[in-house]
Structure 1
Amino acid sequence: MKIQPYLEKAARGAASVFRAVSVGLRRATPVVLRAGRRAARATWYSAGLRATLRPIASLVRTGAVAAVVACLSVAALRATTQTVLPTEIGVIQRDWGGEAGIVPEDLGPSKRFVVPGVRTLHRLDRRIHFARFGMESEGNGFPSLELRTPDDLEVRVGASVPYRIIEGSGHRLVEEGIRSTYPDLARAAIERVLLDALGSLRREEWSSVAARERVRTTALIGIRAALAPFHLEPLDLQISSTWFPPEFEVEMMEQKLLEQRILTDAMLARRDERNYELLTEQEIVGSLEAARAAELDFEIEQERIGLRAEVREVESAASQYAFERKTAASNLYEKALTTGRLKLDEAEALREQLLNEALESEGGRVMVAREAASNLKFTTVKLDANNPNVPSVLDLDALIELLLGEGHQ
């Protein structure tokens, strides 16, 4: 059962009580002192008053003893409570007993109950460390690396290596006794690897970016292997600056200038070669374009001639078709016109026949008579009364029979 949380809660409660008691004592002390002085003076004058103040004095002594005990308890709790900050790695060491030794665990940020003489809390820096080599005026912690190349060239190099404690390995530094010396061990290991790696570059390789990058990668691998026994790991390697003798600087400048001239001449030669290739390609393309244009013109002319023949054939066929259709339409029109006229004549004859038949009927005669009567206009009518064939005007039936015939009464 873990008692660490209960101890921490008890420590926090005791601290609160201590603060409350301290405030109460600071406020009550002047009052108690004034009351004590007055009581002391009063005891010289009254035995009854002394008997009355005796319980109060006993209560004051008890409160003072309780306050002292509380203060001592809070002080003890504060002395046994230690804090591991977020930037630290905590390592517990048991100082005595059957389990004495380093606890194989790295503690994170927390408050720990540590009894002096029973346990010891070691704190390691969790942050990133830097091994900087270079000019002191630039804020570097160590001098520049001075080395000599295989072809006897003195070089000074500035470098920076950030590193940190491997996660979960802080207790091993304490166990191996290097918790305070590992920065110096790391610096020495890094310096040794850098001197070996950078010292392998020859004079002409210092001006090659590829060669320097290759050596930087190799040196970083070597630094990782060199720091592993100390439970450290490098994060990167940066070559910040390089110093050469003045005569080598001049030599490097001349070499760079010569290389630049060689590159320029090569580029100019390449440009001229490219221009010649472009001119040759342009001539070839021009000739190909002319040949292709002639072929296209010939093909277009052939297509045009063929299309003209097809157009003439289509026009001839259209004219023949129009003539044939027009002739057929004229024949159909004349035939239809003749047939129509024949039908009209037949209709007219039928109309005459039907009209004659209608007029010959009794109704037709009546209609004719009616029309004749409607068209007949009598200005005067003279009836010879002496003629026996002329009916009397008063004899209407005889008059109708005379005018209309028999059977129309």
Structure 2
Amino acid sequence: MKRGPIVFLISLIAVPLLLALLFKLIPPSTVGVKQNQWGGGIVEEDFPTGFRLGISGYHKWHYLPMRTHFLHFTSRSSSQNFRSDSVSKWSAPLEIRTTDNNVVTFELSVAYRIIPGEAYRIVMDGLKAHYPDRVKSVVMAVLRQELPKLTSEDLQLTDLRLERVNFTLPLLNERLKEFHCEAKSIMDGTAGSSLLSVTSGKLRFS
């Protein structure tokens, strides 16, 4: 029997198997974090989409989404059409008491992302499964600290609302550094513009 066909068949089976054992595919819109299971711990590097060297049994891979994450505070969160997933979290609107002692309901969205090059730090700090909840807690705390500094009359003025948003964003990012994330914008939860959508009683300021 000729050896050529046998060698070809063995190669046909062995080569894909060898590649599968030595390389891992990082999916699109995802960053990979490599962990050495036999010593060395987390590799201090983020691995982008593509085939990466990762020996099965020796390396363990963690995957984190690199897409923009969204925190939505809106009355639409009660709808079955809007469900939380790995990058979108839906919650009830924020109710905040202003400086003139009025309770105001804010419907808004906050866009944030994992800081490029710091995904491995999330895994290293044990935050892989918890960073979205930690970010949400910080966002709510900062917004409840800064937004009440506006009066009900201030909220009707677009320039003042934008000024407060622009002032709040760097304060928020300073807090989010702890979780290796950064906020990109605070947006109207319905229209998608960089404004706050505010409802007080039956009035809606936009």
The answer to whether the 8 Å contact 1:90/1:106 transfers is yes
Distance 1:218 1:194 in 2: 11
How many matched pairs?
182
1:125 pairs with one of 65, 70, 73: 65
Amino acid at match of 1:230: F
Tell me the secondary structure at the aligned position of residue 123 of structure 2: helix
Note the alpha carbon deviations across 1:349-379, whole angstroms, 9 max, x for none: xxxxxxxxxxxxxxxxxxxxxxxxxxxxxxx
Q: Percent identity?
A: 30
Q: Return closer, same or farther for 1:223/1:118 CA change in 2, 3 Å cut-off.
A: same
Using the TM superposition, give the Cα deviation of residue 87 of structure 1 relative to its aligned residue in structure 2, in angstroms.
Answer: 0.8
Note the alpha carbon deviations across 1:116-162, whole angstroms, 9 max, x for none: 43211111111111111111248471110111112221111011111
1:193 aligns with 2:142: yes
Q: Return closer, same or farther for 1:75/1:214 CA change in 2, 3 Å cut-off.
A: same
Q: Return closer, same or farther for 1:102/1:152 CA change in 2, 3 Å cut-off.
A: same
Using the TM superposition, give the Cα deviation of residue 244 of structure 1 relative to its aligned residue in structure 2, in angstroms.
Answer: 0.9
1:104 aligns with 2:60: no
Residue of structure 2 in register with 1:233 after alignment: 182
Cα RMSD between the aligned structures? 2.6
Distance 2:27 2:58 in 1: 22
TM-score by length of 2: 0.78
Distance 1:78 1:166 in 2: 30
Distance 2:43 2:170 in 1: 31
Distance 1:212 1:15 in 2: 68
Residue of structure 1 in register with 2:36 after alignment: 94
Q: Return closer, same or farther for 1:115/1:122 CA change in 2, 3 Å cut-off.
A: same
Tell me the secondary structure at the aligned position of residue 177 of structure 1: coil
Give the alignment of 1:126-275 within 5 angstroms: 126-135=66-75, 136=77, 137=79, 139=82, 141-240=90-189, 241-246=197-202, 249=203
User: Higher helix share goes to which structure?
Assistant: 1
* Structure 1 residue ranges without an equivalent (≥5): 1-12, 19-69, 253-409
Tell me the secondary structure at the aligned position of residue 236 of structure 1: strand
Give the alignment of 1:240-319 within 5 angstroms: 240=189, 241-246=197-202, 249=203
Using the TM superposition, give the Cα deviation of residue 14 of structure 1 relative to its aligned residue in structure 2, in angstroms.
Answer: 8.7
Note the alpha carbon deviations across 1:29-76, whole angstroms, 9 max, x for none: xxxxxxxxxxxxxxxxxxxxxxxxxxxxxxxxxxxxxxxxx5xx8557
Amino acid at match of 1:165: I
Tell me the secondary structure at the aligned position of residue 139 of structure 2: helix
Distance 1:199 1:14 in 2: 72
Q: Return closer, same or farther for 1:174/1:134 CA change in 2, 3 Å cut-off.
A: same
The answer to whether the 8 Å contact 1:15/1:74 transfers is no
Using the TM superposition, give the Cα deviation of residue 175 of structure 1 relative to its aligned residue in structure 2, in angstroms.
Answer: 0.7
Tell me which of the two structures has the higher relative contact order, counting C-alpha pairs closer than 8 angstroms and 6 or more residues apart: 2
Give the alignment of 1:45-124 within 5 angstroms: 75=17, 77-97=19-39, 100-124=40-64
Residue of structure 1 in register with 2:85 after alignment: none
User: Higher strand share goes to which structure?
Assistant: 2
Distance 1:82 1:88 in 2: 13
Q: Return closer, same or farther for 1:14/1:215 CA change in 2, 3 Å cut-off.
A: farther
Distance 1:15 1:217 in 2: 63
Using the TM superposition, give the Cα deviation of residue 79 of structure 1 relative to its aligned residue in structure 2, in angstroms.
Answer: 5.0
Distance 1:218 1:184 in 2: 23
The answer to whether the 8 Å contact 1:157/1:239 transfers is no
- Greater gyration radius: 1
Using the TM superposition, give the Cα deviation of residue 181 of structure 1 relative to its aligned residue in structure 2, in angstroms.
Answer: 1.1
The answer to whether the 8 Å contact 2:155/2:198 transfers is no
The answer to whether the 8 Å contact 2:97/2:104 transfers is yes
Amino acid at match of 2:25: T
Residue of structure 1 in register with 2:5 after alignment: none
Note the alpha carbon deviations across 1:265-313, whole angstroms, 9 max, x for none: xxxxxxxxxxxxxxxxxxxxxxxxxxxxxxxxxxxxxxxxxxxxxxxxx
The answer to whether the 8 Å contact 1:89/1:108 transfers is yes
